[in-house]
Amino acid sequence: MVVHRLPLWQRLLCTVVPALTFVPLVARGRQDGGWPLARTSLAALALLAVLVRSWQLRVVTGPGVVVVSWFRTHRLDWREAERFTAESGGVEVELVDGRSIGVAVFATTVGASSWLVERNESAAEQLQRARRRHRDGARPGRRARAAAGADEIAPQGVRDAGKIPSLSPVTTLTRTVRVPVVVDRAPLDDDDVHRARLLAERLLATVDDGGRRWHHTSAVAARAAEATPAVASSQAALLLAAAWLHDVGYAPQIAHVGFHPVDGAVHLLRAGWPLALAGLVAHHSGARFVAGARRLTPVMRAFNRPEHWYGPVADALSWADQTTSPTGELVTVEERVAEVLRRHGPGSAQAHCQRDRVPALLEAARATERRLAATSSLDLR
């Protein structure tokens, strides 16, 4: 949810001052026959009212999009805001330890808009990019009014988003949904692996693909079981749980950002799974490179621990995923990468990031196989 305030001087400028100046202009127009001047003043006042009324903030937060203007607040569901979320790539979730997953805040006026994504980005760059990409800020009024009756979000955290440049500068406060994150807890065990399997089965059953995603997930979990000797015994259950859950973000009911590693990771955090597991899901199979190609890097920043994308467990998860085809057959990493490029096309984010992603996947696979060879679990002849 977003709370915004126009500065007091701007409220006076936009309302009281034009009203006071309009009256004497009308009076003078009657005396001197200066009606064109009065009409010009009236037009200027109307334009000023349009500028004020058109100012909006949009923030993707929790289960929906809240649109706040000076006069009213609308609540849009995810289906209504599908195009907006796809363009902004934003879902803001603030973790208990203070880190946040992305920010997507829009301030729109007539002819200008700004996009606050990260605090350290240049405001001028944000404004320039937003002007190129986002010109139609208004949503259909009838659908917005119909969605306005939805339940309110109950945010707990408040973060000062600072000033957003626009034709009408406004100071904003962004209320973010806080997710209780389990950072330090006992290692996962066999019961957690069983829970992970049941959760994956339930969520992936809603994916309309004839069961292909579930077959792939089951095969990845079996492949991960072969890789458990490559990780510490205390982390074997973590690897297996991550293998079962790595693709749950494809489930339509939790696909809010449209990037399945992050959608799955955020859902797991909300469900009380530990950050170590969610981070593995968020970064599996070089997801950080795809996120960069899709300009979704801000939504990855909550999962910023190196072990989320590097190390024995992360390597083994990528190895299991990248040596399993979408239908569950055993393949090489090179074959899997080629299949992904054929499926998504040469203009896809996967194609754009392959220069960085493919070497990382190959190195993860080689590292896992070296660890397995060291334990005599895999013959590399």
Tell me what the mean pLDDT of segment 351-373 comes to.
92
Read off the pLDDT band of 83 (50, 70, 90): very low
Residue of 258, 244, 249 lying closest to 216 (CA atoms): 244
pLDDT of 261 strictly over 70 = yes
Give residue 321's pLDDT band: very low, low, confident or very high (50, 70, 90).
very high
Neighbours of 43 (CB within 10 A): 10
Average confidence (pLDDT) over 230-244: 95
Least confident piece of the model among 191-205, 268-282, 287-301: 287-301
For 12-30, write each residue's pLDDT tens digit.
Answer: 665 565 566 556 655 655 5
Which option is the CATH number for 190-374: 1.10.10, 1.20.5, 3.40.50, 1.10.3210? Answer: 1.10.3210
More confident site: 125 or 253 = 253
Structural domain boundaries of the chain?
Answer: 53-179, 190-374
Tell me the pairing of strands 73-77 and 64-69.
antiparallel
Nearest to 165 by CA among 87, 113, 110, 121: 113
Rounded-to-integer distance, Cα 219 and Cα 206, Å: 19
- Kind plus residue range of the DSSP H or E element containing 95: strand 93-95
**Comparison of pLDDT for 207 and 88, the residue scoring more:** 207
Tell me the C-alpha distance between 48 and 55, whole Å. 11
Tell me the pLDDT tens digit for each residue of 160-219. 222 223 333 333 323 333 454 555 566 889 999 999 999 999 999 999 888 899 999 999
Round to whole Å and give the CA distance between 156 and 31: 59
- Reply yes or no on whether the pLDDT at 149 is more than 80: no
Q: Which of 86-95, 117-126, 231-240, 364-373 has the lowest mean pLDDT?
A: 117-126
Q: Quote the DSSP letter at residue 1.
A: -
**Would you state the pLDDT for residue 325?**
93
CA–CA distance, 90 with 144 (Å, rounded to integer): 20
Would you say how long the chain is, in residues? 381
Q: Where are the alpha helices (DSSP H) in the chain?
A: 8-14, 16-32, 35-54, 82-88, 123-133, 141-147, 190-204, 212-227, 236-245, 260-270, 275-283, 287-293, 312-322, 333-344, 349-352, 354-374
Q: Express as a percent the part of the chain with pLDDT over 70.
A: 49
Burial of 142 (0-12, 13-18, 19+ CB in 10 A): exposed
